[in-house]
Amino acid sequence: MNILITGGTSGLGKATVELLVRDGHQVFFSYLATEEFTAVAKELETTYSNVKAIPLNFCETESVDGFCGKMKEWDLDVLVNCTYVGKPQNTYFHKTAPEDFMNAFEMNIIPTVKITQAAIEVMKKKKFGKIINIITEAVIGLPPMGYTLYACNKAYLMKLSDVINKEYTRYNITCNCILPAYMQTNFATVDERILEQMQQEHPLKKLLTVDEVAQSIKFFVDASQQVNGVKLPINAGTMLL
């Protein structure tokens, strides 16, 4: 299948790219064209013949629109929305300026909406498609303190997934969500002492890894179209929907 993963040069995105290309899929992935991420993108393209890296900056409208314009060429079967701009933990709600809400929405939700709409246009014509949205455990119950912007944007994306289920199942397009617990990546880092405490309090005595979540993405890629509208928490059962 032809698969697009947003944000494929680090963390969960990179783990998913490497897992799916080894399955023989044609994988397209976006990356922010910094020196570090460009080097990773080139290495992945050199290592795997079935990988194509495309630069994308979620914070620039021209970059997003240009990226969406190219998507018709890729004949997509699967879209994995993985990118998030910013850090999950910020500050308390009362210290968050109203313009910060707008900026976070414009940098995360609007690009994701545009990319998803472009993918759906291709999938509707094919009468087939899979959309997999990476959410977060933080939308279950009470989110951690300081997660105002992150939790709100992810909750919006999760509800948008319900809209996609309602409107596009008739085109044989599925939309499923994955809600992972904390993973130790460059995206979300915590102090070593807090990390040790988290591990000690975890029922399995080990934190979730990106490889484990990538396997769940692979499950949805491989699953029947009967698997639709699922919101899958990956958190060792510590919090349930």
* Domain assignment present for 241: no
* Domain assignment present for 144: yes
Give the structural domain span for 173: 2-234
* Domain assignment present for 92: yes
* Domain assignment present for 44: yes
Q: Is the pTM of this model over 0.85?
A: yes
* Domain assignment present for 240: no
* Domain assignment present for 139: yes
Hey, what amino acid is at 30?
S
* Domain assignment present for 239: no
Count of structural domains within the chain: 1
Phi, psi angles (nearest 5°) of residue 225: -65, -10
Sheet of 231-234, strand order:
51-55, 26-31, 2-5, 78-81, 129-134, 173-180, 231-234
Predicted confidence pLDDT, tens digits, the chain (241 residues)? 999 999 999 999 999 999 999 999 999 999 999 999 999 999 999 999 999 999 999 999 999 999 999 999 999 999 999 999 988 888 888 999 999 999 999 999 999 999 999 999 999 999 999 999 999 998 898 888 888 999 999 999 999 999 999 999 999 999 999 999 877 766 666 556 555 665 666 777 678 899 999 999 999 999 999 999 999 999 887 776 6
Q: What is the pLDDT of residues 101-146, one digit of tens each?
A: 999 999 999 999 999 999 999 999 999 999 999 999 988 988 888 8
Hey, what amino acid is at 207?
L
- Measured in whole angstroms, how far is the alpha carbon of residue 198 from the centre of its chain? 23
CATH of the domain at 71: 3.40.50.720
* Domain assignment present for 158: yes
